Amino acid sequence: MNFSRRETMALGAGALAMTMLPVQAFAATGDDAIAEFTGGADVMDGGVTLTAPEIAENGNTVPISVEAEGATAIMVLAMGNPTPGVATFNFGELAGSQSASTRIRLAGTQDVVAIAKMADGSFAKASQNVKVTIGGCGG
Amino acid sequence: MNFKTMTFVGVVAMALPAVGAAEPDDDTLILNGEIEMTTKAPAPAHLEDVMDTVMSGWHFRSDETQVMQADDFDNPGMMYAEQGREIWNTAEGSEDKSCASCHGTPDESMQKVRATYPKWNDEAEEVRTIQMQVNDCRENRMGAEPWAYDKEGALPMEALIASVGRGETVDVATDGPAEAMWEQGKELYYTRTGQLELGCVNCHEDSYGMMIRADHLSQGQINGFPVYRLKNARLTGAHSRFKGCIRDTRAETYSPGSPEFVALELYVASRGNGLSVEGPSVRN
Amino acid sequence: MAEGVRPRVKAPRSAEAGEVVMIKTLISHKMESGQRKDSDGNQIPRSIINRFVCAFNGTNVIDVTMEPAISTNPYFEFEATVPEAGEFQFTWYDDDGSVYEDAKPVEVG
């Protein structure tokens, strides 16, 4: 599997190959995004809460919320989307709390990840698997 | 019965062995913390021998989707109702009139409209949907262009008119001059069509509460129309939804605004008699 | 996409000094992700709102970097502290260079 991926990417047909690979392949870019945000620092579990439905009614509009007390920023990623970035919430001086809610698009069943950057420079992570289904009546 | 249909139904049922009938929930819908909505009601007389209770599509949706509808800010359908209000107040056409010129504020003048439409119009001698009536006003009283069905300003206007009627009880007339069209709508509802040989009845009367793949089948009520659908993040009208459903059964479908869909809308609306007007609602 | 884009904001009209209030924002925008194809099979280019900022009397409350995975009609709910009377300023930045704004005054006391 690895060899053929490198070969095809070298041929510049990477885009085509990526569409045929399982969803895990996109996680590579998700991990890159996390590394960029954290600068490679360790990420603890806990310290950030991610609320998302277990089963999304429709992948086009999925309500989520994040909260991390004492965070300066929270980055949200959809690890299985074609591009994993979803949003980064940067909290200013007049933020009433380090929390936010929004509605996002999920291309399929996948892990949604929230990484919080804390005021002391450390990082915290939460992850939840969200099932995205195909409707029966024409989607 | 067509063998092909039985095979299809058999395949769908077997594909979901563990998920039998998922019951609609028991939650209560209170709008903006103020208006308590009737989302379940005893079935109207004409349905008494096929079901006991009529239920709004709201009950078949996930908790997150239900919550979206309970607040006018969270409900994206209300953005369209606001657009409708702007259109209401804008003068158009050769007579330079707006809806407001004759009808004042919609909150009063239009409050009972959504609950009783589609309705027989004596002067025109036909059953009219809200959009048909609005277009009649536009053409003949404002001197403006009528809107194409479910297009242009039609859906925001229908969203406005529905929104000011929320909480009113649906009460569509099925007798008198509307009866012939109501019977026509009923026949359309109960007739199997298309490659999949399905009629509205097969899913929305025989199978509501069950899962079709991952969709939770509702009773197909239209008290919540026009609907903000999560799947395409925009407002959908009843006729467009009928068309989509019929297309999904792989049948030749009618057009929004056609007499067949007017008849079907009249009949389907009457199946919800007793429920509250909910539009614009939020659904899958 | 600069047509038909409308911001809506829900914020309290008055608050106690130092109170934490909830703010909700919604803006009608298609958020074309860049993943869709048109009927000829050509990729429809990305065209989204890529940033949302809320400030109070010029001091930042929240600054959101937005990607194509934010749903059509972007919605945000967050909390803000109101130190004194003033005005909330809301700004959305579009890929195409358009900037959409809204403001809500708040009384204190």
Mean pLDDT for A6-21 is 44
**Mean of the per-residue pLDDT values of chain A:** 83
Bond before B226 cis per omega within 30 degrees: yes
Does the beta carbon of B30 lie under 8 angstroms from any beta carbon of chain A?
A: no
Q: How confident is the model at residue A12 (pLDDT cuts 50, 70, 90)?
A: very low
What is the token pair recorded at A117? 């950057």
Which residue of chain B comes nearest to A51, CA vs CA?
Answer: B64
- Dist. CA B235–CA A130, nearest whole Å: 26
* CB-based burial, B54-84: b 16+ in 10 Å, e otherwise: bbbbbbbbbebbbbbbbebbbbbbbbbbbbb
As a whole number, mean pLDDT of residues B244-258 equals 91
> pLDDT over 70 for what percent of chain C?
97
In A, which residues are within 8 Å of C68 by CB distance?
A: 83, 105
Best of A51, A57, A103 to substitute, by most chain B Cβ atoms within 10 angstroms, is A57
- What's the rounded Cα separation, in Å, for the pair B79 and B70? 14
Cβ(B179)–Cβ(B123) below 8 Å: no
Report the half-sphere exposure of A33 (CA within 13 A, side-chain side): 23
pLDDT confidence band for B22 (50 / 70 / 90): low
Average per-residue pLDDT for chain C: 94
* pLDDT score of A17 more than 90: no
Mean pLDDT, residues B261-277 taken together: 97
Find the farthest-apart pair of alpha carbons in chain C and give their distance in angstroms, rounded. 60
Residue A7 has pLDDT above 90, yes or no: no
Burial of residue C85 (number of CB atoms within 10 Å: 0-12, 13-18, 19+): middle
Q: Do A135 and B230 touch (CB under 8 A)?
A: no
User: pLDDT value at position B70?
Assistant: 94
pTM value is: 0.86
Amino acid identity, position B162? A
Which pLDDT tens digit goes with each residue over A88-124?
A: 999 999 999 999 999 999 999 999 999 999 999 999 9
Q: Which of B219, B250, B284 to mutate to test the interface with A (most CBs of A within 10 A)?
A: B284
C-alpha neighbours within 13 Å on the C-beta side of residue B238: 29
B61, B62, B195, B236: which to substitute to probe chain A, counting the most A Cβ within 10 Å? B62
Phi, psi of C96 (to 5 degrees): -85, 10
pLDDT of C101 > 80? The answer is yes
Report chain C residues whose CB lies below 8 A from the CB of A85: 67, 69
Which SS3 state, helix, strand or coil, does residue A76 take?
strand
CA A49 to chain B, closest CA, distance in angstroms equals 17
Task: Inspect the interface and report whether the beta carbons of B213 and A53 lie closer than 8 Å.
Answer: no
Compute the distance between CA of residue B201 and CA of residue B271 in angstroms, rounded to an integer. Answer: 12
Query: From CA B17, how far away is CA B281, in angstroms rounded?
Result: 32
Q: What is the DSSP string of B247-269?
A: HHTT---PPTT-HHHHHHHHHHH
Nearest CA in chain B to A101: B74
Q: What is the pLDDT of residue A20?
A: 40
Q: What is the pLDDT of residues C72-100, one digit of tens each?
A: 999 999 999 999 999 999 999 999 999 99
**pLDDT over 60 (residue B18):** no
B9: nearest Cα among B156, B202, B186: B202
Average pLDDT score over residue span A51-73: 95
Q: Which of B129, B165, B163, B164 is nearest to B149 (CA)?
A: B129
Q: Which range is least confidently modeled, A19-28, A65-74, B84-93, C90-99? A: A19-28
pLDDT at A5: 54
Residues C95, C1 contacting (CB under 8 angstroms): no
| Structure tokens given for C106 | 């708040």
Q: List alpha helices for B138-249, DSSP H.
A: 154-163, 179-190, 200-204, 238-248
In which band, very low, low, confident or very high, does the pLDDT at B214 lie, cut at 50, 70 and 90? confident
Residues of B in contact with A130 (CB under 8 A): none
**Nearest alpha-carbon partner for B41 in B224, B207, B204, B273:** B273
Q: Provide the angle, in degrees to the nearest 10, between the axes of the packed helices B154-163 and B130-137.
A: 110
| Interatomic CA distance for residues B58 and B71, integer angstroms | 14
Query: If pLDDT is split at 50, 70 and 90, which confidence band does A23 have?
Result: very low
List of chain A residues whose C-beta atoms are within 8 Å of the C-beta of residue C78: 89, 95-97, 99-101
- Write down the pLDDT at residue B163: 97
Q: Identify whether B245 is a catalytic site residue.
A: yes
CB C100 within 8 A of CB C94: yes
User: CB B74 to CB C24 under 8 A?
Assistant: yes
- The answer to whether residue A134 scores a pLDDT higher than 80 is no
**B192: its two tokens:** 């199997």
Determine the pLDDT at residue A29: 83
More confident residue, C92 or A3: C92
Which among A48, A97, A119 is positioned nearest to A77, based on CA atoms?
A48
| CB-closest option in B73, B74, B79 to C28 | B79
What is the model's pLDDT at position B92?
Answer: 94
* pLDDT tier, B248 (very low <50, low <70, confident <90, very high otherwise): confident
For chain C, percent of residues with pLDDT exceeding 90: 91
Predicted confidence (pLDDT) at residue A28 exceeds the cutoff of 60: no
Of B61, B62, B245, the CB nearest to A137: B245
**pLDDT at residue B17 tops 60:** no
**CA-CA distance, C40 to C37, in Å (whole number)?**
8
How far apart are alpha carbons A42 and A57 in whole angstroms? 34
CA distance B24 to chain C (A): 27
Mean pLDDT of B233-238: 94
Query: Mean pLDDT lowest for which of B161-170, B228-237, C57-66?
Result: B228-237
In C, minimum Cα distance to B68 occurs at C75
Largest CA distance in chain A: 52
CA B187 vs. chain centroid, Å, equals: 18
**Mean pLDDT score of chain B:** 90
% chain B with pLDDT above 90: 83
pLDDT of residue B4: 45
Find chain B residues with C-beta within 8 A of C90's C-beta.
Answer: none
Residue B253 pLDDT exceeds 80: yes
Over 60: is that where the pLDDT of B276 sits? yes
Query: Residue B36 above 80 pLDDT?
Result: yes
Label the pairing between strands C59-66 and A85-91.
Answer: antiparallel
Strand order in the sheet with C19-27: A49-51, A62-67, A95-104, C75-82, C19-27, C7-10
From chain C, pick out residues whose CB is under 8 angstroms from the CB of B76: 26, 73, 75
Residues B102, B108, B110, CA angle at the centre, nearest 5°?
Answer: 70
Three-point CA angle A75, A76, A77, nearest 5°: 125
Question: With a CB-CB cutoff of 8 Å, which residues 55-94 of chain B face chain A?
Answer: 61-65, 68
> Residue C30 and residue C47: Cα distance in Å, rounded?
8
In this prediction, residue B7 carries a pLDDT of 41
Per-residue pLDDT for B3 more than 90? no
Whether A45 and A125 have beta carbons less than 8 Å apart is answered as yes
Q: Which of A71, A47, B207 is nearest to C78 (CA)?
A: A71
Report the alpha-carbon distance of residue B50 to residue B17 in Å, rounded. 26
